[in-house]
Structure 1
Amino acid sequence: MSAVDRLGFGCVALAGLASPRRARDLLEGVLELGIRHFDTAPVYGRGYSERLLGDFLRGRRHQVSIATKFGLPSGRAPRLPVGLAMRLNALRRRLQPPPAPTKPTDDPPAADAEPLPRRIERAEVESSFDASRRALDTDTIDLYLLHEALPASLAPAALDFLLQLRAAGKIGQLGVAAHGSRYLALTPAELADWDVLQYEYGPAWPQHAELPNRFPSKIHIFHSCLRGVARDGRAPGRALAGCVSANPGGRVLFSSTNLAHIRDNVGALGP
């Protein structure tokens, strides 16, 4: 498997582009680079990210794997047509005053707050799963991730429902997508029903480097580690290659809306 085969593209900023055409062009460029894993969530872009990805993948769903998430309240379903919503959002951004400048810092970001003491019931998971399948225009979801919570948040009936979906082939894999520091307090037994751990990786999170060895039976997906995709003055691909090398059995997830710079970074990885 090549380095590019182990990359994934995060669609968190997809709905922030100026139009569906620009979102489609970005996704088309990413697909042309050989990236075949796309990660989204109902809360990304107020629900429009899933729709944009689903529209793009219509007719080529068999070429890719899709990850989406559940567990965070996503509010009301989008009501405006996606193109109109994106234009209004772009107009709103132009009319907003520029943010005040902030002082650069090398301090690592603080860990997320503890998970909300909120119980996730079966009905909520059923509703979220059905809504994501409709938005993504797919019968199956390859990777279904518990978003910013831990397995203990799930009611037993909710977990049973997820396991039934996986057994029926409606879900390929089950995973947890939370701040990696939260996994440090877990035992392998608490993750027995889960296939994937998705979390931040890089110099700002040194404690996360032990997670692949702590949970060797899980597939690990790194994200938020690719400062090389930003214009930070370093050689393209350096950060990306470092993450791929550090996670030989897993995947590396990145997100950017700058297709030229994505090409520079991915192209620097080589075969």
Structure 2
Amino acid sequence: MAEVVSFRMDGSDRGEGPVLMERRDGALRLTLNSPPTNSLSIAVMEQLHAGLRLAEEDASIRLVVIASTGKVFSAGHDLKELTAHRSDDDGGRAFYERSMRLCADLMLAITRLPKPVIAEVDGLATAAGCQLVASCDLAICTDTATFCTPGVNIGLFCSTPMVALSRATHRKQAMEMLLTGETIDASTAKEFGLVNRIVPKQYLDQVIAKYASVIAAKSPLTLTIGKEAFYHQIELPVSEAYDYAIRVMVENMMAKDAKEGIGAFLEKRHPVWTGE
């Protein structure tokens, strides 16, 4: 039986709030809970940041799943919140800078978290919501999920979502989404490289649980080393990437978990990880 503990970011155990947290067999689920849009308001982004910090600090948490309630995974930035600040003395510039910076820092925090992050997408992921999916290490969606970067339709090019999108998909496919603003279906998103797998809605929890179980069974040190190395090397020229990867591989070989894992493989037994 899976251990499930639900709580709010403020520490209470009430099942409400813009972001719900739930521990389940080594995974921390962060669920966007502001339907119908699940927008990335300042409050929501701050709570997601807090959840990622908890995941980083708590050794019992092996990975993070970002999910949502309702029919929309996330509609991105809260346009009503942004528009309300047009009446500020500076026309809203300081608030817009704060909101965009907080969002960018959130996406970077996902990438830099020394634990895997999986997007569980059931519904529409649009603009910064699509950026959130693109920023996660893995993305599993239902066969009815849809994705778009529609800023161009309202005179606001999705420049910050573009950063994650262009790194998750091929350039021309990213530009297609950014220039047209049109919605793509799950199959197209998989073809573009935005998601890993498409599953029927009724099997989404089961598939996510399987991924979580498989990942949680690995050496936490190895996952940390590997995730950091992946995002570092991908920005390097290929020869520099190999030089860097060689250094990482040698250091990884010196770790106790590598010694244990190789020994267990040769001895045909299950490894016992210490995270060292």
- TM (norm. structure 1) is 0.31
Query: Comparing both structures, which one devotes a greater share of its residues to helix?
Result: 2
| RCO comparison, higher one (Cα < 8 Å, 6+) | 1
- TM (norm. structure 2) is 0.31
Please identify the structure whose Cα radius of gyration is greater.
Answer: 2
